[in-house]
Structure 1
Amino acid sequence: MSTEIDTADGDTDDAGLLRTAYRTVTPGYGSHSDDEMNAVGWAIGLGLLAILLPLLPFIAIVWGVSRVIEAITGSDDESEE
């Protein structure tokens, strides 16, 4: 079994293709579902939702007040033109 790497010639366009495959001592990868990481992701997402949902009324109030102030004073874009 050879351990040398075969390289592509300079005149071909397929320089990125694998010329020689080597045997490996690591076992092949078999796809499987990752239920543990899915559970962690759901827990983090639900935790963020539980934290941010009570803050939603305050965010809406700040947004509404900023829109009212902008309507009273005029927007910055209109004053520059």
Structure 2
Amino acid sequence: MSEPAELEEPSAPRKVLRTVTPGSKPRPDVEMDSIGWAIFLGLVVLLVPLFPFIAIVWGLSKALDFLARQRGE
């Protein structure tokens, strides 16, 4: 009472279907590369002037943490 092998496992397609669009070949994407560099340089231009303020806030927080530990002991 076993079923035929055709019903147990699906068979592979007999014919390969072609797509409507032709396959594309890999190539360097110069347009997106230049956009990425532009975004990176824009962020650098924005963040470099803010770096001294970030460093001051970081240094003050480290100094206050150190003083709080000294006072707590």
Q: TM (normalized to structure 1)?
A: 0.66
Greater relative CO (CA pairs within 8 A, separation 6+): 1
Cα RMSD of the aligned pairs, angstroms, is 2.5
Instruction: Name the larger-Rg structure.
Output: 2
Alpha-carbon distance in structure 2 between the residues aligned to 1:26 and 1:36: 22
Deviations 1:9-56 (A, max 9, x none): 17xxxxxxxx33311221111111111110000000000001001111
Matched ranges for 1:65-76 at <5 A: 65-74=60-69
Letter of the aligned partner of 2:45 in structure 1? A
Which ranges of structure 2 fall in alignment gaps of 5 or more residues? 1-7
Paired residues, what number?
62
- The answer on 1:38 being equivalent to 2:33 is yes
Decide which structure has greater helix share.
2
Q: TM (normalized to structure 2)?
A: 0.72
